[in-house]
Copies of this chain bind each other. A is one copy, B any other.
Amino acid sequence: MRAVLERLRTGVIGVDEAFEALKVLPYEDLDFAKVDHHRRLRTGFPEVVFCQGKTIPQILAILGRLTVHNDRVMATRATPEVYAAARSDFPGAVYHEAARIVVLERQGARSAERVGRVVVASGGTADLPVAEEAAVTAEVMGAFVERLFDVGVAGLHRLLDRRQALTSARVVVAVAGMEGALPSVVAGLVDKPVIAVPTSVGYGANFGGLSALLAMLNSCAAGIGVVNIDNGFGGGYLAAQINRLGGGQAS
């Protein structure tokens, strides 16, 4: 864009010509897209590849492209096969197995300092993969994360025992399937934002996570934002964004 303006200023082209040139200039050359990109690098937020429904060659190709311009790239819903393939192309690849996440970090990249405090709480053992996806995502995005797993509402004392951990968080990610009551109970105990992640854990009339989703949307407690069913990544990402608002030091 500057080149066009320069050529106009020096009389190489006229106003009409400049007008036309500016109208067809690719958007990204003058606007937020590039700014976004810079901001993304600066904040240390990684680029993300959602592996589910992509072939391994497709995933490798996208990873290859992204690692050129990014210090840190993460691939979610990555099977062990994806990791095996990624490791031969990118020797430093790290696999978070329970979270099903592969992380590629550029050598020499400034290590992501973990700041603030995100608590990831989950209801049952079967919710663990989603909860780990949330936790690892938030960590890769620079959040200090504390895990409170297996604190479902049917055994309330397990949750109440960890009240101090909950209240020291900047934001809580509450992961639960079945009746999805955990976020309601948590939001009644803390006065910080709660990100609710419904899971498809359960059977019968849970309708693939619909029961937990509806419960979370209809919570009688205020201060809850809900993400898609089994969307641990989305929950961790949003939590890390919120956590970052609190500034740089660990709390």
Contacts and interface: CB of A to CB of B under 8 A. Distances in A.
Interface of A: 1-2, 5-6, 8-9, 11, 14-15, 18-19, 22-24, 26-28, 30-33, 36, 39-40, 43, 45, 48, 52-54, 58, 62, 123-126, 152-157, 160-161, 163-164, 167, 170-171, 178-181, 184-185, 187-189, 191-193, 195, 198, 200-231, 233-234, 237-238, 241-243, 245-247
Contacts of A192: 241, 245
A250 B90 CA distance: 44
Count chain B CB atoms within 10 A of each CB in A36, A153, A179, A228 and give the residue with the most: A179
Number of copies: 8
Contact of A217 (B30, B53, B54, B213): B213
A170 B22 CA distance: 25
24 contacts: A6-B15, A9-B18, A26-B161, A153-B153, A153-B188, A153-B221, A156-B156, A178-B220, A179-B184, A192-B241, A205-B210, A205-B213, A205-B218, A211-B215, A211-B217, A217-B229, A222-B233, A222-B234, A223-B234, A223-B237, A225-B226, A225-B238, A245-B245, A245-B246
